[in-house]
Amino acid sequence: MISAIAIVTLIACGNRPTPDGYETSRPVPVEYVASGDTTINFENDMEGNLPKGFTQTATGAKQTNKWKIVNDKGNKVVMQGAKNEGDYYNLLVLDKPVYQNLIMSVKIKAVSGDEDQGGGTVWRYIDNNNYYIARYNPLECNFRFYKVVNGNRKQLKSVDCNIASGVWCTMMIEMDGSKISCSLNGKKLIETTDETFKAAGRVGLWTKADAQSYFDDLIIHSLK
């Protein structure tokens, strides 16, 4: 007979999120830590393919990963094209370099989504269950900063914003030590501090559920 303590332990283990097993969930080698800046515009990637140097993964029970390069009026961009549901976070993570203190910007356009829309960036990414997120959502008309810890998302800040679907916007994140600021279209909307993730981590792109979105011009500047 299994004791009550053993049963509780088994249940706890069964509910504990685990990293996805990809390279992006392994410890960061010292040589991956950025010493300069990174600019990615996806123009050298092939349409229909995953962009080079990125890993697609997710937070949540397995559904569909569908990141790919598409043509947006003559310009190559990367699209999150899956129609997932619920608390499923679609992730596209840059394999290397990694950053600790940074200024990161990316252009984003919400294309469609009934349950969710828009998207954002992740940084100080340890694995697919542990990272920071900033995202905007045209359906909710808000811009939010979260942390995901052991697969659980916690909202840290939220502000109202009004960026419509089908319109390109620019998101910028600055993190220096524990200080964080998040901007949309050059306007700083969120300022706060958090010390959950202190070490250098990967960066990437994020959408939730069925939010189909375009991303372009990812620029990361290292702060010493």
Indicate if the pLDDT at residue 9 is higher than 90. no
Give the total residue count for the chain: 224
For the stretch 175-216, pLDDT in tens is: 999 999 999 999 999 999 999 999 999 999 999 999 999 999
Instruction: State how far the Cα of 206 lies from the Cα of 217, in Å rounded to an integer.
Output: 15
Burial label, 23 (beta-carbon count in 10 A; 0-12, 13-18, 19+): exposed
For the stretch 60-86, pLDDT in tens is: 999 999 999 999 999 999 999 999 999
Question: How confident is the prediction for the chain on average, in pLDDT?
Answer: 92
Distance of CA 60 to the CA centre of its chain: 14
CB 202 within 8 A of CB 57: no
- pLDDT for res 176: 98
Residue of higher predicted confidence among 155 and 9: 155
Instruction: Catalogue all structural domains in the chain, each as residue range(s) with its CATH number.
Output: 20-222 (2.60.120.560)
- Computed on alpha carbons and rounded to an integer, the radius of gyration of the chain in Å comes to 17
Place of tokens 């991303």: 215
